[in-house]
Amino acid sequence: MTTHLNTTPDAAAAGTWRLGDRTVNRIGYGTMRVAGTPTDPKPKDRAESIAVLRHAVELGVNHIDTAAFYFLPTRSVNELISTALQPYAEDLVIATKVGPGRSRDGGFEEYARPEELRAQVEENLRQLGRDHLDLVNLRWGAGLERVPGSLAEHFGSLAALREAGLIRDLGVSNVTEEQLVEAMEIAPVVSVQNRYGLTEREDDALVETCGRHGIAFVPFFSVAAAIPGALPHGDHHEAGQAEVAEVAQAHGATPAQVRLAWTLHRGDHVLAIPGTGDLAHLEENIAAGALRLTADEMALLDGIAELS
């Protein structure tokens, strides 16, 4: 029997995963939108952004995703994190990304060379006010398209910084399975962060590979298809809306919550980092960690892949 979702938000309701040598709640927080978005000429109110970050931690979030290249002309996400959350809680894991670079006017610059990654790591250290970074993902490619080729030299540079004590754990982002294997041969990989969701199923096999190796799979944009205008391409994202709505109604949940819950049901090693700059949406996202889907509901939702 399907029961209605208890909407009391508590990140612990999603369960936990061992991320490197740290235990985190499986539902975390992605900070890309906390300052606003590049397409919105008016940034979020600074006090509101700080309140959202603090409330996320109050609700049990102890895995936060960020990057030094998350900024607007008058807002730096890392600076907001530093202001809102220092002194940092001992159990808080802040994951960041390096690779892409952005100019002061916000445009993406040429992808970093291996020897330039140290400067990006140090920039994150300064902005966050840390003496080491908990987790650094090598973001392969500046955009969302998968970029072929070897990442060995770049990942090797980060592995050297890990040995030097600047980084605790390493991950990769926007990669193929072959690139993950290549990275694993250089240094331990604790997370893979790729675009993935109910109607973004390219990485089904990679999700399983990560599970076999005890690597966290951390999807981004997993709820974007539930937000009108959030995805820049593809009519196929309209597929499955009726099925998602049916499951959402049964649980007294929103379509975005169902999409989040579906990703969490893909395996205990799958973590969620939904992003928002809104307090109410933050609570909805975290409450989704308590949503338990039945086998029939998962089968219904899994079938959407054939429609998209």
Q: Provide the annotated active-site residues.
A: 70
C-alpha closest to that of 124 among 54, 50, 190, 71:
71
